[in-house]
Amino acid sequence: MQILSRGIATAGRAVARHNIALTLAMVTSIALLSFTRPAAAMNIQQITSPGGIQAWLVEERSVPLISMRYAFDGGSSQDPEGKPGVANFITAMMDEGAGDLTSEEYQERVEDISMRMSYDDTKDSLYGSFETLSANRDKAVELLKLSVQKPRFDDDAVQRIRQQLVANIIYSDKDPTKVAMREWYAQAFAGHPYARPSSGTAETVSKINRDDLIAYHKRIFARDNLKIVAVGDITPAELGKLIDDVFGNLPAKAELMPVAKTEPTGGSQRVIEMGVPQSVAIFGLGAMPRKDPDFMAAFIINHILGGGGFSAKLMEEVREKRGLAYSVYSYVQPDKITSILVGSVATKNASMSESLDIIRNEMKKMAENGPTEADLDAAKSYLTGSYALRFDTNSKIASQLLGLMQEGFGPDYVENRNKMIDAVTLADAKRVAARLLKSNDLIVTVVGKPDGMKSEIPAAQSRVAAPTRG
């Protein structure tokens, strides 16, 4: 899984050879892609602030920058009943005025000191990203603190952002990929908070008001559900003071609603008609949770099947041999509540049925025979060899480590990660491939006008698709 060339910002319209989108896996699955600098070069310090808040720090003095990434357990699965979209809404509101500063004043100050701050939400977490030049650290921390502790949620700002979010939803509702993904979740997790669209719908977002945002902020922005990583030009003592400043006054405990464990219900196909020349499909099934002893093997199996760019079977069969698609891939996403293997393919309407048959067939072959020794070696070789590529910038390091922290791993994970990959044997891989790739459980949503395809949803879906937990 990689973000591939997107041309160049200065130049606009460059066309890359292929693009494996991160889609929803942007932030959460980072942990399992950990790479690291050699231990000698990257010293991860675990610090506790004077106020008792813990954080990881990697000091890097050669560039006058500080990157901080933090996360609150919560995310869109904590949206109030009947109001999906609150978490996503709040991520767009955090720079819309705080303390005594109106939205406009706040944003101008942020720009004046070239501070960078953004928020993002996933099903399980709310992520914050903060970067500043060393020279402006104090001013930037002051602004960050205001935003974290005293966001204003003024009515006019709420209204403005609401309109933007609704416009985005209307736009997304016409985007076959986004619709396919949304419907996949609705199908796989029917009746569970995961089934709700994270951004909400035009209808629910229209109803979200200032009180909803205040309530969510109060519940979720707390200290016991907070993880922090900083990388860059700062000492442990300075970081301790910084995080006390920014987070110290938050409530000690978050008020999280319990979210039931769930697993995708398997074996269905939905076709959603849209007048586009190219259909888009999302396909997926349950996978092993992050702490399952077989997780690493499952991760490698997915790499061989669909995650490894041009070395992956799906790319080979669908694109390279047959020219059916530009984009075909899969990824494993372990969330707190459930884990999934999800993939996507986009192809002209006439070829969707054929492409999905090929994908199912590749899954079946992999489940029955497992990978070859050569497949496994190539995958290990890439995964361990590209280890360091994820750690060549401050912000990448911060994101990687935050993912590990959230998964409950210690800094030693980065030392052991390659060993874990190397330890997966061919027998492990074969066994786990069979456990993981139950292609009869595949949940498929197709958006477009795919020739000869229609919805097939079993009347009673009582079987559980996800593997037993070990």
Partner 1 sequence: MRLVTFPRFRFLTILALSMLALTPEAYAVDTATRATEFKLANGMDVVVIPDHRSPVVTHMVWYRVGAADEVRGKSGIAHFLEHLMFKSTDKIPVGEFSKIVSRLGGQDNAFTGHDTTAYFQRVAKDRLGKMMEMEADRMVNLRLDEKEVLTERDVILEERRSRIDNNPSALLDEQMNAALYLNDPYGTPVIGWYHEMQKLSRQDALTFYKHYYAPNNAILIVSGDVTPDEVKTLAEASYGKIPNNPDVTTVRHRPSDPPPLAPRRLEIKDPRAGNYSLQRYYLTPSYVTAKPGEAEALDLLMKITGSGTTSRIYKKLVVESKLATSAGGDYSGSNLDSGNISLYAVAADGVPLPKVEAAIDDVLAEVAKNGVTEAELARAKRSYLADYIYESDNQATLARRYGWNLAIGRTVADVENWPAAISKVTADDIKKVAGEYLNLKASVTGYLIPDQSGVAQAQDAPPPSANSELR
Q: Which of 391, 407, 409, 441 binds partner 1 (CB under 8 A)?
A: 391
Both tokens of residue 310? 């041009």
* Residue 263 or 375 having the CB closest to partner 1: 375
Query: In Å, what is the CA distance from 299 to each residue of 143, 186, 311, 342, 460?
Result: 40, 24, 15, 12, 31
Window of 63-71, 283-291, 330-338, 404-412 that interacts with partner 1 by CB under 8 A: 63-71
Binding to partner 1 (CB under 8 A) within 427-466 occurs at none
Quick one: DSSP state of residue 206?
Answer: H
Instruction: Please count the other Cβ atoms lying within 10 Å of the Cβ belonging to residue 224.
Output: 12
Residues in the interface with partner 1 (CB under 8 A) total: 100
Write out the binding residues for partner 1, residues 80-99 only, by CB under 8 A.
95
Q: Mind giving me the DSSP string for 146-201?
A: HHHH-B---HHHHHHHHHHHHHHHHHHTT-HHHHHHHHHHHHHTTTSGGGS-TT--
52 in contact with partner 1 (CB under 8 A):
no
Strand partners, 333: 340
Using the minimum distance from each CB to partner 1, give the nearer residue, 19 or 54: 19
Residue choice 274, 420, 426, 434 for contact with partner 1 (CB under 8 A): 274
Amino acid identity of residue 449, one-letter, is K
Residues in contact with partner 1, shown as a per-residue x/- string from 282 to 311 under the rule CB under 8 A: --------------------------xxxx
Considering the complex, state which of residue 21 and residue 47 has its C-beta at the smaller distance from partner 1. Answer: 21
Among 260, 388, 423, 457, binds partner 1 (CB under 8 A): 388
Cβ neighbours for 130, distance < 8 A, ≥ 6 positions apart = 67, 68, 69, 70, 115, 116, 117, 140, 144
Position 47, amino acid:
I
Strand partners, 118: 129
Q: Which CB sits closer to partner 1, 134 or 461? A: 134
Q: With respect to partner 1, which residue has the nearer C-beta, 170 or 427?
A: 170
Binding mask 152-181 for partner 1 (x = CB under 8 A): --------x--xx-xxx-xxxxxxxx----
In the complex with partner 1, the residue whose CB is nearer, 132 or 262, is 132
Report d(CA 122, CA 87) in Å as an integer.
9
Rank residues 360 and 431 by Cβ distance to partner 1 and give the closer one.
360
Distance CA 182, CA 193 (A): 13
- Binding of partner 1 at residue 45 (CB under 8 A)? no
Binding mask 102-141 for partner 1 (x = CB under 8 A): -xx--xx--xxxx-x--------------x-x-xx-----
Q: Per CB under 8 A, which of residues 200..259 are in contact with partner 1?
A: none
Q: Is 16 in the site for partner 1 (CB under 8 A)?
A: yes
* Residue 68, C-beta contacts closer than 8 angstroms, at least 6 positions apart: 128, 129, 130, 131, 228, 229, 230, 231, 398
Q: What is the DSSP letter of 305?
A: I
Residue 333 binding partner 1, by CB under 8 A: no
Q: How far is the CB of 42 from partner 1 (least distance, A)?
A: 8
Applying CB under 8 A, does 415 fall inside the site for partner 1?
no
